[in-house]
Amino acid sequence: MTRILIFTLVLIMPATAMAADCPRTLSIGGAITEIVYKLGKEECLVGADTTSTYPKASSKLPMVGYQRMLNAEGILSLEPELIIHTEQAGPPAVIEQIDQAGIKRVEIKEQPSLDAVYQKIEAVAEAFGVEQEGLVLIEELKQQKEELDTAETDKPKVLFIMQHGGGAPMAGGKTTAADAIISLAGGENVVDFDRYKPLTPEALATLNPDIIVTTDESMAQMGGVEGLLQTPGIALTAAGKSKNIVSMDALLVLGFGPRTIEAAQELSKAFGNGA
């Protein structure tokens, strides 16, 4: 009787070769993390910050704090070879510690525009050496933008409000992601000041928005629609009287990442447009 012996050869790749293909990466900024997943490089991630809430799988990553209040010890303990972050990352002392440790950093500008989204994708794709995949993703988004542009718009008057902590709700003014997404969706921001500021009941009545947009997180803090309507002045607006209130995930509507046009399409439909 002849016996045949079968041997299985297992090749173990050197750690240096594996690192070259997939550096141990820390992603800071929810939009940046989304892009990493979109480009298929999520296996490289060893951690993220607390703004990284999408996709759901990212919530299983070790977290190193909020992007503006990063924890140096937490970052260094993950032994990252590459950190990709927006210019909002900080504090400066932590960034300095990262540089002193000799960790490669890619810093990306954070602006609420589609051009900035494309630039983020290009930067992340270049960091991983997958420029072609980045170009494909950008082209997909540009095609979505063309579809959005063909929608009929009637420019409803829109107010974006946000609630964090126990203070008064803040309205999103010019130069904010809230203003940019309203415009992209075909609406008109009713406020003309910059950044986020609280509004008096009298100002709310005068502005009289047709639609109020907020985040799911803010809505929860305000106690739902009924809680929002108890905010002084809200119930007197056209939006309050008709309960024309739209609530969306904060990262989706404000993140200006690869789902931004999807968010604009969703908002456009809520505005009564044919997107």
**What is the model's pTM?**
0.89
- For 124-174, the pLDDT digits (tens) are 999 999 999 999 999 999 999 999 988 777 799 999 999 877 778 899 999
CA distances (Å), origin 199, targets 38, 162, 205, 206: 38, 11, 10, 11
Point out which residues pair with 236 in neighbouring strands.
none
What is the SS3 assignment for 162? strand
Q: pLDDT of 183-193, one tens digit each?
A: 999 999 999 99
Residue located via tokens 């992340």: 124
**Which residues 6+ apart lie within 8 Å of 58 measured at CB?**
33, 37, 42, 45, 48, 52
Measured CA to CA, the distance from residue 181 to residue 162 in angstroms comes to 14
Average pLDDT, the chain: 91
* Closest by CA position to 44, among listed 66, 20, 65, 64: 20
Dihedral angle sign, alpha carbons of residues 137, 139, 142, 144: negative
- The predicted structure's pLDDT at residue 5: 36
Domains and their CATH numbers in the chain:
21-148 (3.40.50.1980), 157-270 (3.40.50.1980)
